[in-house]
């Protein structure tokens, strides 16, 4: 199994679940875990899963270049979520799980098992961001869709191997990252090479999936399949409370990054542009349109529900 995450992050986003599975399986099955780019490059992850080079992966569809039309919604779909609980609600109670199952049935030898949430997406940079104008010209490590969207505001998205990011920050190749929340920025060492953290998120939660090689999956007995799914749920639960703890803890007690904020009225310019972006994505396929409509319905429901679901 290969995860999208580097080793420091992987300790939290999947290793604890893998360790629990291996202990519970008691020698009947063992998951060998590999981190970002260790076996195959991140952009070849789904193709390698199809071919059996790896038998299970934990990743977003966006950076893994998954050949499904809904891959654009993996990782950080701009302003698609505001809180980490939005992801499991959307998948389990608003029908995105059925859409993901349907989409992956069209991909040979790949089975989708589950999608869970991670942290929000904020800018951590070497230069302070206090207005939209400060975004112009910044070279930032980003996920493909988030980068494509933020380029509308002058950001220059950069794609490099995950483990090269810290060095690229030190050499000046990058001005910042917009890949995660503050928990991850501290955990993987990016807080050591940046100075400022923008509190305005472009999305409230990352969405990542567990996918397996269909042939390998079908060979497993039902009890080990059930145990594998339980390890996924354990991993989802751990991330929920780890990130929720860290996002507040590091803002208050981190000590390395200065917090900046773009005024709400100005930031709303980006939010309104995101809704235009949603409609552009919806026009690309009927399934994309179905997902966008679900996001709109969900947002409308939570806005009417008010606090604590939505604050504005």
Domain assignment of residue 310, yes or no? no
| Whether residue 229 sits in one domain with residue 150 | no
| Whether residue 134 sits in one domain with residue 30 | no
Per-residue pLDDT, 119: 95
CA separation for the pair 87, 94 (Å, rounded): 10
| Whether residue 182 sits in one domain with residue 148 | yes
Domain assignment of residue 311, yes or no? no
| Whether residue 99 sits in one domain with residue 192 | no
| Whether residue 219 sits in one domain with residue 185 | no
| For residue 256, pLDDT beyond 90 | yes
The DSSP code for 56 is E
What domain count does the chain have? 2
Domain assignment of residue 312, yes or no? no
| For residue 299, pLDDT beyond 60 | yes
The DSSP code for 94 is S
Per-residue pLDDT, 154: 97
Domain assignment of residue 49, yes or no? yes
| Whether residue 277 sits in one domain with residue 248 | no
| Whether residue 217 sits in one domain with residue 148 | no
| pLDDT tens, position by position, 8-48 | 999 999 999 999 999 999 999 999 999 999 999 999 999 99
Confidence band of 83 (pLDDT split at 50, 70, 90): very high
Domain assignment of residue 50, yes or no? yes
Distant-in-sequence contacts of 259-262, Cβ < 8 A, 24+ apart: 259/196, 259/197, 259/198, 259/199, 260/128, 260/129, 260/130, 260/196, 260/197, 260/198, 260/199, 261/130, 261/198, 261/199, 261/200, 262/129, 262/130, 262/131, 262/132, 262/198, 262/200
CA separation for the pair 108, 214 (Å, rounded): 8
What is the side-by-side strand order in the sheet with 2-3? 2-3, 56-59, 207-213, 110-117
Domain assignment of residue 87, yes or no? yes
Pairing of strands 122-125, 196-198: antiparallel
- The per-residue pLDDT of the chain, averaged, comes to 96
Mean pLDDT along residues 90-96: 98
| Whether residue 175 sits in one domain with residue 33 | no
CA separation for the pair 158, 4 (Å, rounded): 17
Per-residue pLDDT, 312: 57
Residue 189 phi, psi dihedral angles, 5° rounding: 100, 0
98 token code pair: 């059925």
Are 115 and 97 in contact by the 8 Å Cβ rule? The answer is yes
CA separation for the pair 278, 273 (Å, rounded): 9
Domain assignment of residue 128, yes or no? yes
Confidence band of 249 (pLDDT split at 50, 70, 90): very high
| Whether residue 104 sits in one domain with residue 81 | yes
Rounded (10°) angle between helices 264-282 and 286-305: 150
| Whether residue 154 sits in one domain with residue 27 | no
pTM of the shown model: 0.95
| Whether residue 275 sits in one domain with residue 139 | yes
DSSP assignment of 104-127 = HTTSTTEEEEEEEE---BEEEESS
Half-sphere exposure of 101 (CA within 13 A, CB side): 8
Per-residue pLDDT, 163: 87
Per-residue pLDDT, 75: 95
Instruction: Say which CATH number the domain at 126 has.
Output: 3.40.190.170
| For residue 300, pLDDT beyond 80 | yes
The domain of 13 spans: 2-117+205-253
| Whether residue 78 sits in one domain with residue 15 | yes
| For residue 146, pLDDT beyond 90 | yes
Q: How far, in whole angstroms, is CA 28 from its chain's centroid?
A: 32
| For residue 311, pLDDT beyond 90 | no
């Amino acid at each position: 199994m290969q995860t999208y995450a580097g080793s420091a992050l992987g300790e939290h986003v999947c290793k604890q679940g893998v360790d629990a599975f291996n202990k519970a399986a008691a020698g009947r099955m063992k998951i060998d875990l590999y981190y970002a780019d260790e076996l195959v490059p991140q952009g070849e992850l789904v193709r390698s899963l199809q071919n059996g080079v790896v038998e299970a992966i934990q990743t977003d569809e966006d950076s893994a270049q998954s050949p499904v039309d809904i891959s654009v919604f993996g990782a950080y779909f701009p302003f698609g979520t505001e809180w980490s609980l939005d992801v499991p609600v959307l998948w389990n109670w608003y029908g995105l799980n059925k859409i993901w199952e349907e989409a992956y049935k069209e991909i040979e030898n790949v089975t989708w098992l589950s999608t869970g949430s991670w942290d929000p997406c904020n800018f951590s940079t070497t230069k302070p961001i206090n207005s939209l104008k400060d975004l112009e010209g910044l070279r930032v490590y980003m996920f493909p869709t988030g980068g494509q969207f933020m380029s509308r505001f002058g950001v220059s998205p950069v794609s490099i191997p995950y483990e090269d990011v810290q060095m690229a920050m030190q050499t000046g190749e990058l001005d910042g990252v917009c890949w995660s929340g503050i928990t991850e920025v501290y955990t993987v060492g990016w807080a050591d090479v940046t100075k400022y953290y923008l509190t305005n998120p472009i999305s409230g939660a990352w969405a990542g999936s567990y996918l397996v090689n269909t042939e390998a999956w079908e060979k497993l007995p039902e009890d080990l399949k059930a145990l594998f799914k339980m390890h996924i749920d354990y991993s989802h639960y751990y991330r929920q409370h780890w990130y929720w703890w860290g996002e507040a803890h590091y803002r208050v007690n981190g000590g390395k990054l200065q917090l900046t904020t773009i005024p709400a009225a100005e930031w709303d310019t980006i939010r309104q542009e995101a809704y235009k972006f949603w409609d552009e994505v919806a026009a690309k396929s009927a399934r994309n349109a179905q997902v966008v409509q679900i996001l709109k319905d969900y947002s409308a429901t939570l806005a009417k529900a008010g606090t604590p679901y939505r604050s504005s």
